[in-house]
């Protein structure tokens, strides 16, 4: 039986231009017995929201609520005995009123019902605002910098769009491990941001050629790894700037989806190419809790410091504006929605 109380959500009824984004009035969630209900305070904006709205990633069921990360307070807990007796559930130690964060699908809503395994309690020193501003991009950076290519001290790493949400986190994490970060950004103001977050060399792509600069900085040897969320526009260049036995982490499509290519090309320098998605690294309940706790520890110790660009209202216009801004190349750090 669905509730008669209604809540606001923001989503799409078809894919296309910005005007497909609309406010939806939905019944308040009636959770399954394995779900936690969260009253959302803040939700994070991510590039993937634009892919889902525009059709880069196909959506087949409508209406589709946008949003992949949210933080708020627990208003109801799972009732299933199988859940409450589960060791991993007990480790979460969840209670009504706890401040929590979740990464899942369809989270731009005032109240959300999510599987307990995706809900992690926040430590006292992490606010719901910081959690919503950091969980998805932060864990992307942390898992990719560990599992896609394990960044080591003295590595030379290229981070594209280093003043963006993922880019700032990657730069901070790589620098904290003693790697040398070469960052790309597209403006002068972003150059300072990349430097302040730990990049040793910054290439301004509106004035400089990335291949020339990277080869100059590395004495023509190239970098140990490239973290590339730009995609189509930078794909080819990466083959010129990765060193022998280096790793190409293709992590996004901000400029469009990269072209098809022949695997034989990897043999020219014995390069590894990986194309991970965050959700493939945080799949099991244990992975979800462990990575969120590890990221919270990085936040707590100051290794990572989220940079919040702007807070948007929880309206269709607010979400539209966030999508205009994140695709405009003008944002620095994280965009968030203030839901309550």
The interface with ligand NDP within residues 205-244 (CB under 6 A) comprises 229-230
CA neighbor of 138 nearest in space, from 293, 246, 272, 252: 293
The interface with ligand NDP within residues 267-296 (CB under 6 A) comprises 276-278
The interface with ligand NDP within residues 38-97 (CB under 6 A) comprises 46-48
Exposure class string for 242-252: b at 16+ Cβ within 10 A, else e? bbeebbbbbbb
324 belongs to the binding site for ligand NDP (CB under 6 A): no
| Least separation in angstroms between CB 156 and ligand NDP | 19
Question: How far is 169 from 296, CA to CA, in rounded Å?
Answer: 13
- Which residues lie below 8 Å from residue 326, measured CB to CB, with a gap of 6+? 45, 46, 47, 49, 50, 335
174 secondary structure, DSSP code: H
188 belongs to the binding site for ligand NDP (CB under 6 A): no
Between 321 and 331, whose beta carbon lies closer to ligand NDP? 331
286 CB-side CA count, 13 A = 2
Beta pairing, strands 69-76 & 21-27: unpaired
Question: Which residue in the block uniquely carries the two structure tokens 């003693």?
Answer: 178
Question: How far is 84 from 103, CA to CA, in rounded Å?
Answer: 21
- Which residues lie below 8 Å from residue 192, measured CB to CB, with a gap of 6+? none
Of 94, 114, 158, 254, the one binding ligand NDP by CB under 6 A: 254
Between 78 and 229, whose beta carbon lies closer to ligand NDP? 229
Of 11, 72, 138, 167, the one binding ligand NDP by CB under 6 A: 167
Between 200 and 329, whose beta carbon lies closer to ligand NDP? 329
Instruction: State the DSSP H helix or E strand holding residue 45, giving kind and residue range, or none if neither.
Output: strand 35-45
Of 166, 170, 193, 337, the one binding ligand NDP by CB under 6 A: 166
| Least separation in angstroms between CB 157 and ligand NDP | 15
Of 67, 164, 222, 258, the one binding ligand NDP by CB under 6 A: 164
249 belongs to the binding site for ligand NDP (CB under 6 A): no
What 3-state class would DSSP assign to 303?
coil
* Helical residues (DSSP H) of the chain, grouped into ranges: 47-54, 81-84, 87-92, 128-132, 135-143, 165-176, 188-196, 210-217, 235-241, 278-281, 285-301, 316-326
| Least separation in angstroms between CB 79 and ligand NDP | 32
Of 35, 117, 180, 186, the one binding ligand NDP by CB under 6 A: 186
Between 76 and 255, whose beta carbon lies closer to ligand NDP? 255
Phi, psi of 30 (to 5 degrees): -105, 100
Between 129 and 329, whose beta carbon lies closer to ligand NDP? 329
321 belongs to the binding site for ligand NDP (CB under 6 A): no
| Least separation in angstroms between CB 255 and ligand NDP | 3
Binding site residues, ligand NDP, CB under 6 A: 46-48, 137, 140, 161, 163-167, 185-186, 190, 229-230, 251-255, 276-278, 326-327, 329, 331
């Amino acid at each position: 039986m669905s509730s008669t109380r209604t809540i606001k959500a923001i989503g799409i009824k078809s894919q296309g231009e910005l005007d497909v984004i609309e406010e939806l009035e939905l019944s308040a969630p009636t959770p399954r017995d394995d779900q936690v209900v969260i009253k959302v305070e803040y939700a994070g904006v991510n590039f993937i929201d634009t892919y889902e709205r525009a059709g880069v990633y196909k959506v087949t069921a409508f209406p589709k609520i946008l949003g992949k990360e949210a933080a708020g307070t627990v208003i109801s807990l799972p009732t299933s005995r199988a859940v409450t007796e589960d060791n991993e559930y007990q480790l979460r130690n969840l209670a009504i009123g706890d401040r929590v964060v979740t990464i899942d699908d369809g989270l731009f809503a005032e109240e959300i019902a999510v599987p307990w395994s995706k809900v992690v309690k926040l430590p006292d020193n992490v606010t719901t605002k910081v959690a919503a501003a950091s969980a998805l991009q932060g864990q992307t950076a942390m898992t990719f910098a560990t599992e896609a290519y394990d960044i080591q001290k003295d590595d030379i790493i290229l981070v594209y769009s280093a003043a963006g949400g993922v880019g700032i986190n990657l730069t901070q994490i790589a620098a904290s491990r003693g790697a040398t970060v070469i960052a790309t950004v597209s403006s002068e103001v972003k150059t300072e941001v990349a430097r302040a977050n730990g990049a040793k060399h910054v290439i301004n792509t509106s004035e400089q050629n990335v291949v020339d600069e990277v080869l100059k900085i590395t004495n023509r040897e190239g970098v140990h790894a490239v973290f590339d969320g730009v995609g189509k526009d930078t794909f080819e260049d990466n083959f010129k700037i990765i060193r022998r036995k280096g790793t190409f982490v293709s992590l996004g499509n901000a400029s469009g989806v990269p072209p098809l290519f022949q695997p034989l090309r990897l043999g020219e320098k014995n390069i590894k190419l990986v194309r991970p998605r965050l959700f493939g690294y945080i799949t099991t309940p244990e992975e979800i809790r462990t990575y969120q706790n590890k990221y919270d520890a990085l936040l707590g110790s100051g290794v990572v410091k989220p940079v919040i660009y702007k807070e948007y209202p929880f309206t269709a216009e607010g979400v539209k504006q966030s999508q205009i801004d994140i695709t405009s190349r003008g944002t620095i750090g994280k965009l968030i929605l203030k839901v309550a």
